[in-house]
Amino acid sequence: MEPRPSSLGDIVERLGTPRVLVVGDLILDRYVWGNAERISQEAPVILLRADRREERLGGAASVAMMLSALGAEVILAGVLGDDATAERCRDLLDAHQVGHHTVLTDPHRPSTLKERYIGRAQQKHPQQMMRVDYEVRDPLEEPLAHLLITALAQEIASADVVLVSDYDKGVCTPTVLREVIAIARRHGKKVIVDPIRGGNYAERYRGCSSMTPNRLEAGLATGIEIHDVASAMVAAEHLCQTLDMEAGIVTLDRDGMALVHRDGRRQHFSVRQRDVYDITGAGDMVLAMLGMVLAAGFDYPEAIAIANSAGGLEVERIGVATVSRAEIIHDLKTADRTGREKLVSRELLVEQLQRHRQQGKSIVFTNGCFDILHGGHVGYLQEARAQGDLLIVGLNTDASVRRLGKGPDRPINDERQRAVVLGALECVDYICLFDEPTPLALIELIEPTVLVKGADYKPEDVVGREFVEARGGRLHLAELVPGRSTTRLVDQIRQNQSNQAA
């Protein structure tokens, strides 16, 4: 039986700080962003006017970065060249607090660099247009391979788990992997592998604890055509038996994951439908999360279910990006509820909005008490949502409502109940509580593109207007339904009760 999301969230909260050793190919991912404005006059190609360049860790370095963001103590082992790309990788590893004293230097090979060009159409909807790779895939020369093995032998004994991120760039040779697996087995440590596509798996990975091939990789490795969960189970069992693993896993993108354990367990783990923006980094995140949970002493079913959530969050981002424990806990604990949980903390809201902005989405903000939700509120919120791609509602806490002087018995509904009712509206994307006299601090934190208030306000009286407009945003005054207000409803209810009593 698949673990319940609520219990999985509790597991993530208890993961602690496991020590994880990551072995594999280090990659630097460079993203060049710009507007795809027109066709070039020189050739029938799109002209990209670049306006931003970003560099992120990829490959095994990506796995290490993700683990560090999840709270693990991470040691990364691999090889870089003696070049500017290597310097940038080491700087980023330091910034992400990843130990890299076991990353060796090979002056005879370049560091692997993948350069992606991301074009925006009409200032939004970014899409990858092209990728250029700078690399050498030759296997490590034997002297350097033995130096790496020696360095790894000293680290494996103190690690809680060993992860192998094989991108077939030359670090994960059969010689290196055989030694890593043998040393880990002697110390009773699990080795989880993200394998290459094709190749001789028995030569490279035999004896590892488990691996995470996708349906294509597993199909090529086993000769089994994987077209559904049943065939994935057959492939997972084949890998488990032929490679002497304790667990065979096949990742199935939108269909989740299949697990076959050598103790006889066979389980399918489904996933929720996601808005997929970029699958880059999803495999790295699955490997990182599996390793994190297994290193903390939990079993494969829990590790796979949590990795499903983490991988799902990753594909909702552009490029390789980290996911926090708070995001995973939030995702897991709300997975079995109807609709998406919309009441979020400020910290989580900032993380979520960063992802949405990377996807080119515009942010709309409004605020209020919304004590007794009525038709006027619904129309107002629908109009607010129409001003952009996402609507965030700042909701007064119970204490702040009382300070507004609306009456001794207000609010009628407490803040959690008001949030539940607001969250049922499709037009509302996120709800965040504020206790301050005004929502200015919240507005400054989320930096909305559009600020919405009712048409009964004068523009100069709207809190946050100057801040939003100074950053290129705008104010929108939404129409109000005449005669509809919570105060009027409460007074009418009281009048009816008084008439009935009389």
| Catalytic residue annotation | 284
Q: Cα–chain-centroid distance for residue 381?
A: 28
Instruction: Give phi and psi for 365, each to the nearest 5.
Output: -130, 140
Cα-based distances in Å from 24 to 16, 146, 180, 284: 24, 15, 11, 12
Written in H, E and C, the secondary structure of 143-160 is HHHHHHHHHHHHHHCCCC
For residue 454, give every residue at least 6 positions away whose Cβ sits within 8 Å of its Cβ, in sequence order, or none. 380, 477, 478, 480
Angle formed by the axes of helices 5-13 and 300-315, to 10°?
90
Q: Which two tokens stand for residue 338?
A: 């109807």
In angstroms, rounded to a whole number, what is the distance separating the alpha carbons of residues 292 and 273?
24
**Do strands 161-165 and 124-134 pair parallel, antiparallel, or not at all (unpaired)?**
unpaired
DSSP for 169-232, please give it: SSSS-HHHHHHHHHHHHHTT--EEEEPPSSS-HHHHHTT-SEE--BHHHHHHHH-----SHHHH
Q: Quick one: which of 295, 285, 223, 277 has its CA closest to 257?
A: 285
How far apart are alpha carbons 131 and 128 in whole angstroms?
A: 8
| CB-CB contact of 325 with 345 (8 Å) | no
Between the alpha carbon of residue 55 and those of residues 9, 24, 48, 92, 233, the distances in Å are: 31, 19, 18, 9, 38
83 CB-near residues (< 8 Å, 6+ apart)? 110, 111
Alpha-carbon gap, residue 11 to 21, rounded angstroms? 21
Residue 60 CA to residue 20 CA, distance in Å, equals: 12
Instruction: Give dist(CA 379, CA 484) in Å, integer.
Output: 11
